[in-house]
Amino acid sequence: MTKSIDGAVLPDVPDLARMRTERHARLQAQMSSSGVDALLLLGTNPVAYATGAEAPGADSGRAGLLRPVALVVGGDPQAHLFTPYPDGAPAELAEDHLHPAIYPELPDGAAAAAAAVSELVPSGSRLAVDELPHPLAAALGSYEITGASGLLGPARLVKTPDELACIRTAQHINELAMARVQPQLRPGVRQNDLSAWFLEAIFDLGATGNGIDPIWQVMPDRLADGPWTTHGDVAFPTASTDRILRAGDVVWVDTGIDWHGYASDFGRTWLVDPLAAPTGRQAGQFRRWDEVVAAVLDILKPGVTALELGRAAIEANGGTRPWVEHFYLAHGLGTESAEMPMIGTDLGDAFDDRLVMAPGMVLVLEPVIWDEGEGGYRSEDIFAVTDDGWVALSDHPYDPYGSRSW
Amino acid sequence: MITAGAGTAALPEGGRVDFARLRRERRARLLEAMAEAGLDVLVLGRPANITYASGARQLWTAGARPFGPGAVVMAGSGRVHLLSTWDDGVPDEIGHDQLFGLSWNPARIAANLAAIPGLASAGRIGTDGWSPGAGSLITSVAPGAEVVAAGPALAGARGTKTVDELACLRTAAAAAEAGMAALVEALRPGVTERQLMGVHAAALARLGLPTPPIEAAACLMPAVGGGPGGPGRLRRLVSDRAAQAGQMVALTAGAIYAGYEATLSRTWLVGAGGGGGGGAGGADGAGGRVASAAQKEVAGRARSLRDARVAACRPGAVSDLLGPGERAGSEPVAWGVGLGMEPPLLGAGLGAGVQLPAGMTMAVQAWAAAPGSEAGGALEADVVLVGADGPELLTRFGSCPALSSDVVH
């Protein structure tokens, strides 16, 4: 197997400027093919994709009111950036493309926001938006508004080699942090203590942000002993508290950090005991998880459909779907912590049958092995589809369960 | 009764915050605001609004997420329907029949919404966001409805705080102060801005609180290195630059408790000691480093500006808040704070006609710049309750002794 993406090798260190240029070209190509004159983006992750602008990690309320905004004009070599955080603008961004912040969420900010847009995009133009807060909608009445998801999705679906290197770096930081956290796991430690060690470690190791409050969910043996769910399947992920961990607890770990706009996704199952060894049933759950991943990797290459990958996973799990109903066997990863391609969602088989793997796609495989009465096992690993197979972007042990086979 | 001071542990007699009353009063305010605005339904996608309506303990994620239906409030029944696949973190008054599960399939999401009694026949629906996709979803479920902005109704309900909301804010303030103490303690030559961010986040997690509301813990002065930040400007993005003795640093700490946020900022001198008694350079409280005249001048200017803005947090017009220095910064000088940052935002061209009501809580910040000097600039910020009789500071933390003009050296 080669490790190339469209003939290009995965760099050890990403070239962030080159990456931004290539992403911009993809957006421009999508805009051109969908007849969009300009693209106005407000969402934290779409703006990061379109501009490469960095912003401090922030709670959703603050991120909604003090937001960087991107305006991509058709044919323009760079995106315009309106930001309250000018120190986060990419170094190569031209001075006339960097603007003061606009406040499209606020009734007293929307008019100025619309005026800023109208200086760069003639009225009557076809303007694609990801979000359109009511105040801004009222102020942008002179444009033909359309949704941006149809062009953002295809642009982001396939990653450049630099993007893959960013994901690998983010994941490496996350894994190194976990190597510091797991030895602390013992009876009496609280979920929030683990979060404290984790957060201190990720920033010490170079993370640019934390993406999600760390999850250290104690799993029940039987579904009836866990939270009630709308579908009767496993509840996961639930938010951490100051819950005190006890000997024998089985903890499903799930965290995600940010590194220059790219997300990591770390998932493992841990046992709370300094001398923990899995029971025979638990060891069997891990082996089953490993077999499911191996079966998927065995056929993963360009041209295979999401439906085929899902079926291989089900077959390796003895005919039972090895993922929880509200999620998926696998999801993509990039500037979003979960994005397309997704395999096995409730979008259904017809959707999965049309979703064909291509070089540069990312899959976070996260099979869940549930063994009613004996709990379950869940871990996540990240893979990129290469020109003739796959390459792993994650690399972390499965202690205390054993080793992977692939 | 709130007699045990700020803390996060449950107490046998019922604890510091009556959360059942908190939720009841918030829901009543929301329904009242809906009635005033003539809204039959609220469809909420912003996590803070979902918290306000439902009281559900949500998983913290960074950034502004796309608008989608996360909670649906029905005026007729007074019931709150919630997007949650499980009942963990969901208050008892929201029954299982009021939960709808996560779905990736627009047809299923539409079916879940359509199953909410009264939604399909609603006449007027308020939403706190809009996108072409989510918008067509809502109109497909309620084809006869007029969809309008819910922002004014939400701002009206959330703007002034109940006694339990204030108790949550005071707890968040105490936690934010703990975060500031941890920053001052860790501040010594060699520590990087990014490491300070980790110290701050860890301090809050040790108190049992989620990831802080803003990961902008430290900005070393002066802002060197060119770029749009330039000297004399506050950077909100931490870097890997390491603190040097004698340098000033703008520290920002923040905490979220039960969804409520408090933040504060202080400017400290590296190597001056203080706070927890740590810091390199001496154990005498003032530390071994002595601030320059320029550093003291700009630090004093920031404190004075902060004090003036705090004093201006009185019921009525905001002209005093939007006075001197308003145009100097790229950020607003004050904003509402409760379940995170809230309207109104004041400064940066915003908020000119705003009237502050008594009972609103504001985050107030003051940035004083010293362009071209080694001092760089100084930042001070606090959270203030707009009291009927005048402002009440909710955050409490001293200033760096070495930057106080009354320190004799």
A131 in contact with B, Cβ within 8 Å: yes
pLDDT of residue A1: 61
Closest by CA to B385, choosing from B372, B376, B397, B395, is: B395
Q: How confident is the model at residue B326 (pLDDT cuts 50, 70, 90)?
A: low
Closest by CA to A264, choosing from A200, A182, A204, A202, is: A202
Answer whether B63 sits within 8 Å of A58, measured CB to CB. yes
Tell me the two tokens of residue A52.
Answer: 């490469």
Which A positions 201-230 lie with beta carbon below 8 A of chain B? Answer: 201-204, 206-207, 209-213, 215, 226-230
pLDDT of residue B282: 41
DSSP assignment, residue B192?
Answer: B
Answer whether B101 sits within 8 Å of A62, measured CB to CB. no
Answer whether A100 sits within 8 Å of B330, measured CB to CB. yes
Owner of token pair 């204030």:
B166
- Reported as type and span, the H/E element at residue B72 is strand B71-74
What average pLDDT does chain B have? 90
B327 in contact with A, Cβ within 8 Å: no
pLDDT of residue B324: 58
pLDDT per position as a tens digit, A390-404: 999 999 999 999 999
Q: How confident is the model at residue B287 (pLDDT cuts 50, 70, 90)?
A: low
Residue B202 near residue A197 (C-beta atoms within 8 A) = yes
Residue from A143, A193, A203, A355 whose CB has the most chain B CBs within 10 Å, to mutate: A203
pLDDT per position as a tens digit, B103-128: 999 999 999 999 999 999 999 999 99
pLDDT of residue B277: 40
Nearest CA in chain B to A67: B64
Residue B367 near residue B232 (C-beta atoms within 8 A) = no
Q: Please list, in sequence order, all residues whose beta carbon lies within 8 angstroms of the beta carbon of residue B49, skipping any fewer than 6 positions away.
A: B71, B128, B150, B154, B339
Distance from CA of B359 to the nearest CA of A (A): 20
Answer whether A98 sits within 8 Å of B330, measured CB to CB. no
Distance from CA of A405 to the nearest CA of B (A): 32
3-state secondary structure B243-265: CCCCCEEEEEEEEEECCEEEEEE
Give the residues across from A83 on adjacent strands.
A100
Q: Please list, in sequence order, all residues whose beta carbon lies within 8 angstroms of the beta carbon of residue A280, skipping any fewer than 6 positions away.
A: none
Nearest CA in chain A to B67: A131
Answer whether B103 sits within 8 Å of A326, measured CB to CB. yes
Answer whether A235 sits within 8 Å of B208, measured CB to CB. no
Of A54, A59, A135, the CB nearest to B261: A59
pLDDT of residue B225: 42
Q: How confident is the model at residue B232 (pLDDT cuts 50, 70, 90)?
A: low
Angle, helices B132-141 vs B106-114, to 10°: value is: 40
Distance CA B61, CA A265 (A): 13
A90 in contact with B, Cβ within 8 Å: no
Distance CA B218, CA B364 (A): 18
pLDDT per position as a tens digit, A75-117: 999 999 999 999 899 999 999 999 999 999 998 899 999 999 9
DSSP assignment, residue A231?
Answer: S
B293 in contact with A, Cβ within 8 Å: no
Residue from A39, A41, A60 whose CB has the most chain B CBs within 10 Å, to mutate: A60
Chain A partners of B340 at a C-beta cutoff of 8 Å?
Answer: 59-62
Sign of torsion, CA A190 A195 A200 A205? Answer: positive
SS percent in chain A: helix, strand, coil, step 5? 35, 20, 45
pLDDT per position as a tens digit, B53-97: 999 999 999 999 899 999 999 999 999 999 999 999 999 999 999
B95 in contact with A, Cβ within 8 Å: no
Q: Tell me, what's the ipTM?
A: 0.96
Answer whether A213 sits within 8 Å of B61, measured CB to CB. yes
Q: Up-side HSE of residue B353: CA atoms within 13 Å toward CB?
A: 3
Owner of token pair 């905490």:
B255
Nearest CA in chain B to A177: B198
Answer whether A44 sits within 8 Å of B63, measured CB to CB. yes
B353 in contact with A, Cβ within 8 Å: yes
* Topology of the domain comprising A161-392: Creatine Amidinohydrolase (3.90.230)
Answer whether A131 sits within 8 Å of B130, measured CB to CB. yes
Answer whether A209 sits within 8 Å of B62, measured CB to CB. yes
Distance from CA of A91 to the nearest CA of B (A): 7
Those residues of chain A that have pLDDT short of 70 are 1-2, 274
A4-156: CATH architecture: 3-Layer(aba) Sandwich (3.40)
By DSSP bridging, strand A362-365 and strand A266-271 are unpaired
Answer whether B202 sits within 8 Å of A199, measured CB to CB. yes
A153 in contact with B, Cβ within 8 Å: no
Chain B partners of A226 at a C-beta cutoff of 8 Å?
Answer: 86
Answer whether B96 sits within 8 Å of A228, measured CB to CB. yes
Q: Considering chain B, what percentage of its residues have pLDDT values greater than 70?
A: 90
Answer whether A65 sits within 8 Å of B108, measured CB to CB. no
Chain B partners of A62 at a C-beta cutoff of 8 Å?
Answer: 213-214, 340-341
Distance CA B313, CA B387 (A): 8
pLDDT of residue B331: 79
Nearest CA in chain A to B202: A196
Distance from CA of B213 to the nearest CA of A (A): 5
Closest by CA to A260, choosing from A336, A208, A211, is: A208
Chain A partners of B101 at a C-beta cutoff of 8 Å?
Answer: 229-231, 326
Give the residues across from B370 on adjacent strands.
B376
User: Chain A to chain B, count of Cβ pairs less than 8 Å apart?
Assistant: 261
Answer whether B211 sits within 8 Å of A107, measured CB to CB. no
Chain B partners of A326 at a C-beta cutoff of 8 Å?
Answer: 85, 101-103
pLDDT of residue A342: 98
A106 in contact with B, Cβ within 8 Å: yes
Of B4 and B107, the structure prediction assigns the larger pLDDT to B107
pLDDT higher than 80, residue B327: no
Distance from CA of B142 to the nearest CA of A (A): 18
Distance CA B18, CA B234 (A): 39
A241 in contact with B, Cβ within 8 Å: yes
Chain B partners of A139 at a C-beta cutoff of 8 Å?
Answer: none
Give the residues across from B263 on adjacent strands.
B254
Domain locations in chain A as residue ranges: 4-156, 161-392
Answer whether B330 sits within 8 Å of A258, measured CB to CB. no
pLDDT per position as a tens digit, B169-196: 999 999 999 999 999 999 999 999 999 9
Chain B partners of A241 at a C-beta cutoff of 8 Å?
Answer: 208
B149 in contact with A, Cβ within 8 Å: yes
Q: How many CB atoms lie within 10 A of CB B273?
A: 27
The backbone torsions φ and ψ at residue A118, rounded to the nearest 5 degrees and listed phi first, read: -70, -20
Chain A partners of B130 at a C-beta cutoff of 8 Å?
Answer: 131-134, 137
Answer whether B151 sits within 8 Å of A135, measured CB to CB. yes
